[in-house]
């Protein structure tokens, strides 16, 4: 896929070249569209997909990477809708006033996303849950999945929400870089986890050492929290991101099955 084609298709270039063999999920049998989620200071945009004609579907929040609400995240949302969920991906970086999918320089992107306070993130996610409930979603069956920074946000929300039934973090960092806007890392929040979380990590992730994953696992076990982990040997960071060179088909497909099984185990998906 050429750079111009990738941009036209809605992919971000900030993460590097876009693979031609990206997964494309159609909208057959789905209602899809743009959400306008009421938050304290305005409306947060989002993308939703849900099975057409199905009353009270379970809800799954999709927490995106730092690259904005681009086509890969929208496609994941449609994949979840094909599984029967009212899936929604909130654009919780919307207040930055720029389209993150159009930023190609990581030195510009990182300061923008790192200026997002956790307190604001958590209320944005609460607002997303409220939006789905007001629009016919069954939030008694509330799940969440997230990728990269979104995976980190899964851990954060699992320590915050009393409504969340189960969540899956794809290579979410267990330890944060120093940032006064992020009071506690996922590992520090281990005693506060309120929902069972499945962590899916790459054994060759150069940004998340396996030792950090093992430390998070130990902290959760010490706190008596329900969590499981699977580490894919040889898989790099971003192994599920089918639009990026980091994609690893075998690990990605297994991780997707593990995610489904986890959400079914805790009655989010049926």
Positions marked catalytic: 148, 205, 237
Task: Specify the DSSP class assigned to residue 188.
Answer: T
Per the CB < 8 A criterion, the answer to whether 95 and 133 are in contact is no
| Nearest CA among 52, 5, 46, 44 for reference residue 27 | 52
Half-sphere exposure of 131 (CA within 13 A, CB side): 25
Tokens standing for residue 77 = 């949302």
- Burial (Cβ within 10 Å: 0-12, 13-18, ≥19) of residue 112: middle
Query: What sign does the CA torsion over 22, 23, 29, 33 have?
Result: negative
Per the CB < 8 A criterion, the answer to whether 219 and 186 are in contact is no
Q: Where are the alpha helices (DSSP H) in the chain?
A: 3-9, 71-82, 106-114, 118-134, 149-160, 210-222, 249-265
205: Cα separation from own chain's centroid = 18
């Amino acid at each position: 896929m050429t750079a111009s084609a990738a941009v036209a298709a809605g992919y971000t270039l900030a993460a590097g070249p876009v693979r031609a063999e990206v997964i494309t999920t159609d909208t057959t049998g789905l209602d899809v569209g743009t959400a306008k989620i009421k938050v304290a200071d305005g409306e947060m945009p989002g993308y939703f997909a849900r099975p057409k004609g199905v009353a009270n579907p379970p809800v799954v929040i999709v927490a995106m990477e730092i690259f904005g609400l681009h086509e890969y995240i929208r496609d994941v949302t449609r994949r979840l809708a094909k599984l029967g969920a009212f899936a929604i991906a909130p654009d919780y970086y919307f207040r930055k006033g720029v389209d993150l999918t159009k930023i190609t320089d990581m030195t510009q992107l990182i300061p923008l996303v790192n200026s997002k306070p956790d307190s604001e993130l958590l209320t944005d996610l609460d607002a997303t849950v409220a939006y789905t409930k007001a629009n016919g979603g069954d939030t008694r069956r509330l799940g969440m999945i997230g990728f990269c920074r979104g995976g980190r946000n899964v851990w954060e929300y699992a320590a915050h929400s009393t409504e969340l039934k189960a969540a899956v973090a794809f290579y979410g960092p267990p330890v944060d870089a120093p940032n006064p806007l992020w009071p506690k890392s996922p590992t520090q929040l281990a005693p506060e986890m309120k929902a069972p979380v499945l962590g899916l990590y790459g054994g060759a992730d150069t940004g998340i050492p396996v030792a950090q994953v093992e430390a998070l696992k130990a902290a959760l076990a010490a706190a008596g929290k329900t969590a499981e982990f699977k580490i894919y040997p040889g898989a790099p960071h971003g192994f599920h991101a089918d639009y990026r060179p980091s994609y690893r088909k075998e690990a990605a497909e297994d991780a997707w099955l593990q995610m489904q099984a986890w959400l079914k185990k805790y009655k989010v998906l049926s």
